[in-house]
Amino acid sequence: MKTETEHESLQNFADTLGLTVHVYRHEDKRRNVQFCVYYNGTSVSGKMDYEQCNHFFIGWMNAAKQLNKSKGNKN
């Protein structure tokens, strides 16, 4: 996937969770691109590749569901 497409895809997922995705490009070509996730302007993740970022979002979504359940909400 191209970087713009990956970023757009990740940001669309992040929008549903109230998160923001930032792109980091490496000049030494170890990895072409990595992503970092922010919540309310604070970083909540390390630098990750596309697949790791998707897994992070799934975990964040599951954690949010559990928090809602523990607060008495049935969503």
Query: Looking at the domain assignment, is residue 8 inside a domain?
Result: yes
Q: What is the predicted pLDDT for the residue at 1?
A: 61
Q: What is the predicted pLDDT for the residue at 20?
A: 97
Report the Cα 52 to chain-centroid distance in Å.
Answer: 9
Secondary structure (3-state) at 38: strand
Per-residue pLDDT tens over the stretch 8-21: 999 999 999 999 99
Query: Looking at the domain assignment, is residue 10 inside a domain?
Result: yes
* Cβ within 8 Å of residue 41, ≥6 positions away: none
Query: Looking at the domain assignment, is residue 74 inside a domain?
Result: no
Query: Looking at the domain assignment, is residue 19 inside a domain?
Result: yes
Query: Looking at the domain assignment, is residue 75 inside a domain?
Result: no
pTM of the model: 0.82
pLDDT at 56 over 60: yes
Domain membership of residue 43 as a residue range? 3-69
8 Å CB contact between 10 and 36:
no
